[in-house]
A = this chain, B = another copy of it.
Amino acid sequence: MSPTDPARKVPARRLQMADIARLAGVSMSTVSRALSGSHLVNEETRTRIAELARSLNYTINLGAQNLRLQKNQTVAVVVPYDAQSRQHISDPFFLSIVGGIADALTDRGYDMLLSRVDAERLDNAAQLFHSGKAIGLIVIGQWRHHDQLNDMAAARVPLVVWGGLLPQQLYCSLGGDNVTGGRLATEHLLALGCRRVVFLGDAQLPEAGLRREGYVQALRAAGIDPDPALEVVSPFQTIAARAAMDRLCASGVAFDGVVACSDLLALQAVHAVRAAGREVPGHPQPGGGRSGVAIVGYDDMPVASFTEPPLTTVHQPVALAAVELVDALLAMLGGAAVAPRMLPVHLVVRGSAPTADA
């Protein structure tokens, strides 16, 4: 039952083209041609060489081939991490966009290098390009370093960024329409009778900042002045979010709605609010406001409909985004000038902030 011989290792020098040539009794050039399917080489010789190579597991060394051909089919996908919290990739949104990009790149015949860089030094990712490891970069998120991304673009690093559209932007970004997303979420809460809506997220991050703009727009349109006490700063991370919401609840500041910057944050808000003895989503009160707290998430991750309560959330088109990011980068590599673009988002109404309220 136990393994016969678990993976022993003997280095065994890797075969190379010269070996194949010798074994086939031809020159290297012939092997090279045969393997590339050139019609300059005799049909019979070609298949013989191909067989030989296959039977020996010989494959052209791509490092050498790339060097010679000056080509490279590798795209780097850069997922920044927060060095302080040593926070790893874990948000399902990031993970699934990475999955989608992997698929899109594979479909198009490119390799994908998955790289982590310190979110404070996004510009370190340029190294991947300058060193020739990758022909271009897809960066997931702008974090706090719009400037570094601009510098990279100015240095002609082929670059596409998942994120929002910012002033003075030199690079190509693609992302959900954050302002609209923030506005939709907030409008929905206002329509439910919420009057004191919390914004949960870190508005220092461009995406969250834009969502906050939408939030403010919606409030103002409803004649409500944004209250700084209702801004709960929290990174895209669960523990911190929970603590921040607990603090808010303990502070006694009144609120009856939450616009969260991710579904994960929304879930933390749900638990914090319930731990404080209030209901989610509660009911509108005759005097205005709500008996409980209605909560809207962001991203619409696959399990959002299975949570308790099911999350009302702003849907981001992950699969589309992945394909668009890849195509944008490839177009750019093809010499096109690719303009930044926003992808449509829409609100998905579920239980955490229902539509018709009793």
Contact = CB atoms under 8 A, between A and B. Distances in A.
A40 interface: no
A237 to B, nearest CB: 12
Contacts of A1: 167
A133 B57 CA distance: 14
A7 interface: yes
A343 interface: no
A126 B57 contact: yes
Nearest to A5: B170
A84 to B, nearest CB: 15
Given A6-B338, A9-B337, A112 B114 contact: yes
Contacts of A10: 156
A111 B111 contact: no
A83 to B, nearest CB: 12
Interface in A144-164: 153, 155-156, 158-159
Interface in A162-204: 165, 167-172
A103 B90 CA distance: 11
A99 interface: yes
Nearest to A94: B99
- Which residue among A6, A58, A131, A319 has the maximum number of chain B CB atoms within 10 Å of its CB? A6
Contacts of A88: 99-100, 103, 319
A332 B7 CA distance: 8
Contact of A63 (B66, B171, B309): B66
A167 B4 CA distance: 9
A270 B112 CA distance: 37
A3 interface: yes
A170 B332 CA distance: 45
Given A63-B72, A64-B67, A169 B3 contact: yes
A253 interface: no
Copy total for this chain = 2
A36 B253 CA distance: 58
A98 interface: yes
A250 interface: no
Nearest to A156: B12
Contact of A308 (B8, B113, B309): B309
A102 interface: yes
A267 interface: yes
B12 A170 contact: no
Interface string A260-286: 000010010011000000000000000
A338 B7 contact: yes
B99 A95 contact: yes
A27 interface: no
Contacts of A325: none
Interface in A40-95: 57-64, 66-67, 72, 74, 77, 79, 81, 88-90, 92, 95
Contacts of A267: 303, 306
13 contacts: A3-B339, A3-B340, A6-B169, A7-B338, A12-B156, A61-B132, A62-B132, A63-B72, A63-B132, A92-B302, A98-B99, A98-B114, A264-B302
Given A6-B339, A64-B67, 12 more contacts: A3-B169, A4-B170, A7-B159, A9-B335, A62-B133, A63-B63, A63-B132, A90-B302, A95-B98, A102-B115, A106-B115, A238-B302
